[in-house]
Amino acid sequence: MTTVMNRPVNPEVEAIRHHYEVSNAFYRLLLGPAMMYSGGYWEDGEDLRAAHETAQERKLDTFVELAGAAGAARVLDIGSGWGTMLDRLTTVHGVDRAVGVTLSRTQKEFVDGLGNPKIDVRVESWEDHRAEEPYDAAFCVNALEHFVLSSLTPRERVARFREFFTQCHRLIKPGGRLVMHVMTVENPPLTRQIIDDLKFLQREEFPGCYIPHLHHLTATCEGLFEVTEIRNERESFSRACRAWLENLAERRAEAVELENEEVVARFERYLDIFAYTLEDGIFNNFRMVLTRREGETR
């Protein structure tokens, strides 16, 4: 069980907190006012930093439209970060109740601090979430990458992806949509640098994190969701990484004071790895729109 607030927790939860419970002040410096930790939609010619907030809002609004979530009664955000999607759903798109799940207690503190009575954020894992009634729509924006451990066998990983889509099927109304951004990996060229960098990501920054292949996702949602759209938007994420690196470079001394040299250096290295692997097509960032099929969840 991973429903947790202050109790001792399992290594999977600790791994997430290692990354996501760096202070909110540090994340504010890194992510800027948008407080989105995922790709954005820049238009050609726009400046990475000047247009960062606009690019993130564009992404959110596009996702809301694709999910048909405007004016909905209840919407779920799985891996809800600092609550920017939840806030926009309720303040701009007329959603009545926006529920988020995250494993990070500092993220929950941040979202609670927004004082938005239409938002409910819970510190619990996606598989533990229960709803009194199904949601009209759901989002999972660059969070699924954390949900399946690399230490599992290939067969167990497939079963875990299936569990994720089964849980989403249970939580969303028939005909409702799940809109995701999710990174996938291609078979990378096995150069020394790539091997070292991928090892660093997996051992030091995101312990146990498993980046799937696209076919894992399409195969394991079969029968539960109709795949309505798949688009590779890897530049949306590489640009965001470059914008965050520029934020960090400009205020590096402050960042070190908020955390320490080791944390800042770790972030610089991992963001640079993400940026170049996305630019080189080693990682992808797929936007997937899935429509929940009729029928009971078994």
Ligand X SMILES: C[S@@+](CC[C@H](N)C(=O)[O-])C[C@H]1O[C@@H](n2cnc3c(N)ncnc32)[C@H](O)[C@@H]1O
Cβ proximity to ligand X, 143 vs 241, nearer residue: 143
Residue of 90, 107, 236, 285 that binds ligand X (CB under 6 A): 107
- For residue 76, give Cα distances in angstroms to 40, 47, 94, 295: 20, 32, 14, 20
Bridge partner list, 183: 285
Report the nearest approach of ligand X to the CB of residue 105 (Å): 10
Buried b (16+ CB within 10 A) or exposed e, 231-243: eebbebbbbbbbb
Near ligand X by CB under 6 A, which window of 103-111, 148-156, 236-244, 290-298? 103-111
Site string for ligand X, 134-173 (x = CB under 6 A): -------xxx--xx--------------------------
State which of positions 51-70 bind ligand X (CB under 6 A): none
Bridge partner list, 179: 139, 289
Report the nearest approach of ligand X to the CB of residue 37 (Å): 4
101 is a contact residue toward ligand X (CB under 6 A): yes
125 is a contact residue toward ligand X (CB under 6 A): yes
What torsion, rounded to 10 degrees, do the Cα atoms 27, 135, 132, 106 define? 0
Report the nearest approach of ligand X to the CB of residue 66 (Å): 15
Report the nearest approach of ligand X to the CB of residue 36 (Å): 4
The answer to whether 170 and 162 are in contact (CB under 8 A) is no
Bridge partner list, 178: 138, 290
Site string for ligand X, 18-57 (x = CB under 6 A): --x---------------xxx-------------------
216's tokens: 């894992």
Near ligand X by CB under 6 A, which window of 95-103, 189-197, 207-215, 286-294? 95-103
Report the nearest approach of ligand X to the CB of residue 198 (Å): 18
Cβ proximity to ligand X, 20 vs 286, nearer residue: 20
Q: Please spell the DSSP secondary structure of 97-151, one letter per residue.
A: EEEEEES-HHHHHHHHTT--TTEEEEES-GGG---SS-EEEEEEES-GGGSSBTT
Residue of 103, 198, 209, 245 that binds ligand X (CB under 6 A): 103
User: Could you count the other beta carbons within 10 Å of the beta carbon of residue 271?
Assistant: 20
79 is a contact residue toward ligand X (CB under 6 A): yes
Bridge partner list, 149: 209
The answer to whether 101 and 122 are in contact (CB under 8 A) is yes
Residues that bind ligand X (CB under 6 A): 16, 20, 36-38, 79-81, 101-104, 107, 125-126, 141-143, 146-147
